[in-house]
Every structure is written in structure tokens, then in C-alpha cells.
Amino acid sequence: QLIELVQEIHDLRQPSLLVAVDQEGGVVQRFKSEFTVLPNMAMVGEAFEQNADRGLHLALDIGRVLGHELRAVGVDFSFTPVVDLESSNIAIGRRSFHRSPEVVCTLSRALATGLGEMGMQAVAKHFPGHSGVVDDPHFDLPSDDRPLKELRLRDMAVYQDMESQGINAVMTCHVVFPNIDK
């Protein structure tokens, strides 16, 4: 049924419309039936802290599984990886790899590599980051009062070298930045 739906969407016009899904593992897995249940990214970060090679391989394998399963049903890309830094943000929670921008970059690169090996693009989210707010932007409009300099040093640091991470697209966050949005 899913394969037929995706094919119908692709057949609507030429060039084909792209089909995307929010399938990142953990609590955000839109497709469940006949798809692998994947861990949240915080577990990958914890594995990395215990053994860097193990964490890297886990991120790579998750990317491969995601890419393989989604491409098998015709989906063009998934909105993953989450590159928000670990924080007290309600919406992100255990969806984040880690609190360190360097670790997030390393693990998101591995996940994106796995996706790429399966012919799928990665879409990093949520630019410029949720770590300065607690509220869930799906229900409220959070406001992050941090200055741009602080955002660049922490949250935005993971976006500095996206191309080398195999990531060519970004999803924005739903947060107001009053010190930037003037």
C-alpha cells in the first residue's frame, strides 16, 4: 500500500515530486509496520561515549537501515539527522545525539554516510537549534534570547561543515530569536 502511494505521487508529473518522511528513529518513526524499530539518537551518543568506534558504527548502520528501508518503498529522503544539541528542550529530548557539537557532527556524518550509501540524502534539523529553549514549538512559540555569537559557538557550529558531513539540506526550527530577528 505504501509503495503504491509513493509511486502514485511520483507518477503525478515529470520531473517527479519528491516524497519525504520524518523517520529518524526513537519516538519519530512515522512508518512502523514492516520497518525496523530504531533507537533514539541519544542512545547512539551514549554508545559513542563508551566506545567511539561502536557509536560510529551504530550511527552508520542506522543510516544504512533507514536509507535501505525507505528507498525500498520509494521514499526520496527523510528529515534526519537531528543535529540539535542535547538540552532540556521538550521536543528534542532523546532525539539529540549529544551535548557536544563535535560529537553531533561526527555522528551525524556517520548517519548521513549510511543514508548516502543507500542512495538517500540527509536533511539536518532544526536550524539554528533548540538548545536555548525548553518549550515544544509544536504547541508554543519559544523565544531564544541568546546573542548570535553564542548561537554560532554552540548550536550553529554543527552546520559549519555540512557538506563534508554529506548533508546538503536543512530544516529550520520554529523558534523566535529576538536578538537576531530584528
In a domain, 151, yes or no: yes
- Judge whether 178 lies within some domain: no
If 0-12 CB within 10 Å is exposed, 13-18 middle and 19+ buried, where does residue 78 land? buried
* Helix 41-50 / helix 52-72 crossing angle, nearest 10 deg: 150
Region 1-15 average pLDDT: 95
In a domain, 22, yes or no: yes
User: Is it the case that residue 167 has pLDDT exceeding 90?
Assistant: no
**CATH number of the domain bearing residue 75:** 3.20.20.300
Cα dihedral value 101, 106, 110, 113, nearest 10? 90
CB distance 82 to 26 below 8 Å: no
State the pLDDT confidence band at 162, using cuts at 50, 70 and 90.
confident
pLDDT band at 176 (very low <50, low <70, confident <90, very high): very high
Q: 179 in a domain, yes or no?
A: no
Mean pLDDT, the chain, whole residue set? 93
The pLDDT value recorded for residue 181 is 79
- The reply to whether 141 falls in a domain is yes
3-state secondary structure of 161: coil
Q: Give the whole-angstrom CA distance, residue 176 versus residue 128.
A: 11
Question: How does pLDDT run across 75-105, given as a tens digit for each residue?
Answer: 999 999 999 999 998 899 999 999 999 999 9
Kindly state whether residue 181 falls inside one of the protein's structural domains: no
Q: Answer yes or no: is pLDDT of 165 > 80.
A: no
118: pLDDT strictly greater than 80: yes
CA 165/CA 113 separation, integer angstroms: 8
**How many domains, the chain?**
1
Q: What is the span of the domain harbouring residue 126? A: 2-172
Angstrom distance (rounded) from CA 96 to CA 166: 18
Q: Residue 18 domain-assigned?
A: yes
In a domain, 182, yes or no: no
What was the pLDDT predicted at 49? 98
Q: Under 8 Å CB-to-CB from 182, ≥6 apart: which residues?
A: none
